[in-house]
Structure 1
Amino acid sequence: QTVRRSAPGVLGRLDIPFRDSRLKEMLFRYRARNYPETLTEHEQSVWREFCLKRINDSGAREKYESGFAEALERGGDAARPLLDKLNTYIASLPIAAGNQ
C-alpha cells in the first residue's frame, strides 16, 4: 500500500525494507512502466537495456506472435484497426541484428 499511496516522484526515494529481494526490482519496473519521467538518466539507461533484451528474446517474440494471431481470430474485423496499430508499433521497436 505504501507504493500505491506514494506520489510518483517519491517512489524512487522510498526505502522499503523488502523481505523478498525481487521486490526492489519490481518497484523499479513499476516506476519505469508507469512513471518513466521519474527515472534518473542511469535508470533510463538500465530500463532501455532491459526492454531491448525483452524485445530481442525469441521466446517473447513467439509468444507475442501467437497472442497476436489469437487476438485477430477472437476480435475479428472490429479489432483489426487497433491490432494493426499495435503491430506497426512493435515493428518500429529496435531489434538487434541477428534477432530479426
Structure 2
Amino acid sequence: MKISKQDVEHLAHLARLAVDGSQVESLTAQVSNILDYMDVLKEVDVDGVPLASGAALGTNVFRQDQVKPSPGPCVTLANAPERDDDFYTVPRIVG
C-alpha cells in the first residue's frame, strides 16, 4: 500500500510530531514498507491454527473487596511537594 507524503504529514500533525522535509521522505518509505508487509500478513492462511496467548485467553481473577482503614492524611500527604492542611496544593492550570 502506497502512502503519500501528505498522509505522513497529516499523521505527524495528528500525533503532534515535529517532522521536517527530509524526515517526511524517509518516513513515507518506512510507513509504506510496514503497510506492504501488513498486506502480506493478511494473506497468510491461519485456519485451524490455535490462538497462542493473549488477553482474550486469560481468565480474570476476582477477589473479595476488603475494607481497610485509611492511613490518614499524615501518611498520604507525607511526600506531597506542597500541601494546605489536609489537602494537596497543585498549580492552577485553568485561567
TM-score scaled by length of structure 2: 0.25
**Which structure shows the bigger proportion of residues in strand conformation?**
2
Q: Which has the higher helix share?
A: 1
Higher alpha-carbon Rg: 2
